Structure 1
Amino acid sequence: MSDFSAADIDAIYRVIAQRRDMRHFCGGQVPASTLRRLLLAAHQAPSVGLMQPWRFVRITQSILREQLYTLVQQERQRTAEALGERESEFLRLKVEGIKDCAELLVVALKDQREQHIFGRRTLPEMDLASAACAIQNLWLAARAENLGMGWVSLFEPDDLKALLGMPEGSHPIGILCLGPVAEFYDKPMLEIEQWAQRCPLDELVMENGWSDQTEQ
C-alpha cells in the first residue's frame, strides 16, 4: 500500500476543515452511483468488535418525508420550551432541511446489540460511537463530492421507530439530509447565528491527568 502524496494529505485536511452541518439545500438529485459511494464510505467506518451496528433507511416516499418533518417540528417546539429564556432565539434557527434535500436517510443502531460483548462489556455506548464514525465518514465523503449533509436529532425515538416499523431493540440516532447546496457556510451555522462558538483546542487537551484549562 503506497503512501499518500502531499496533495492527498492536504485534501483530507481541507475536507475536514470545510465540512459543515448543512440546513439549506437546493433540491436536485444525488446520482445513484454517488449515493452508493457515500454509503460504502460510511460502511468502511471502524466499529468496536467489528459489530457494524449502523443501519441506514433511505426515505423515498413523499408521505414519509412529510411525517418525518412533522416529528421534527414537534420536537423542535418541545426543545424550544425546554430552553427557557432562549426559546425565541432557538425558534429563529433553521434546524433541518428535510423538505428541500435531495436524499433523506435515517440512521439507526441495529437490534440485538447486547450480544456484542467485545469492547462493550464496560462501555456499551461504543455501539453509538461506532455508528457516529460511519456518519462522519459519510459526511466527509459528501463534502468531497460537493454535497451538503445535515444531521438532525430533533425527534422522539419511539415515534420514529413506530413510523418506520423498526424492530424492538433498535434505536434511531439521526435523520440525515443530503444533497446539493447553493453554497457551503463559511463557518458552522450556529457560529454564524451566534448561538455558540467553537472552543479553542488548547482548552480541551490535557496531559497526564484531568485539568480544567479554562481556570488556568
Structure 2
Amino acid sequence: MIRVLLADDDPLVRTGLKMMLRGAEGMEVVGEAADGAQVAAAVREHEPDVVLMDIRMPVMDGLAATRALAHRDAPSPRVIVLTTFDEHRLVLEAMRAGAAGYLVKHAAPEEIVEAVRRAARGEPALSPSAARALIQHAATGPDDRSEHARRRLALLTPREREVAEAVAEGLSNTEIGVRLHLAVGTVKAHLSGALATLDLDNRVQLALLTHDARPRT
C-alpha cells in the first residue's frame, strides 16, 4: 500500500485528489497539510511514502518545504510537486530542492496516479513539459556549471558513473541492470553509493548533474 500525504492550501484540490487516489488500487491518503509549514509535522505523524506538494502555499511555499524534507535526519518521502504553474524555472528549482517529480494540476488522473506509483518505486515522475524543461536545461547550461559537474562526477567509481549515465537517460533500475548485466539489487547499491558520494537526495538530481557534465553542442 502506497501511503500518500496531500499538501495544498486549497481544500477543494485536496478533496479532489483524495477521491482520485482512494479510487486507485494500492494507495491510501494518510494525511493532509494546508501550508508548507505543516508538512514536516504531518510527515512525522503519518510517515507517507509520497507527498503531493503544491508550490504556492502560505507561510512556507512548497519548494522550501521540499528542501526541509530533503534535509531530515530520518528517511524522507518522495515529493511530487503538483502545481498550476508550468514554468521551466520552477521545474528546475523543484528538482534541485529534492523533488522526485513535477506535474501540473490539469494532468489526467491516470497520469497523477502513475506518477505516484513511479515515485514510490524511486523513479522520476515528470510531466512531458517538465521533461522538456530538463532537456532544454541540459542543452543550454553555462560552461562553468559543466566543469563543476564533471569534477563532482569524477568522484564516482567507473560503475557508479555508468549507472549515473543510464539514470540520466531515464532508464529504470531493471533497464539499467539489463544494459550493464547487473542484478537490480547491485544497480540499487551503485545508485545509493553515487547519491551518497555526491550528497544528492534522489536520482532526478543525479540525472541533472550528469546532464550538466556533458559537452555542449
TM range (shorter): under 0.3
Instruction: Considering Cα pairs closer than 8 Å and 6+ residues apart, tell me whether 1 or 2 has the greater RCO.
Output: 1
Looking at secondary structure, tell me which structure has more helix per residue. 2
TM-score (norm 1): 0.27
In our comparison, the structure showing a higher alpha carbon Rg is 1
TM superposition score normalised by structure 2: 0.27
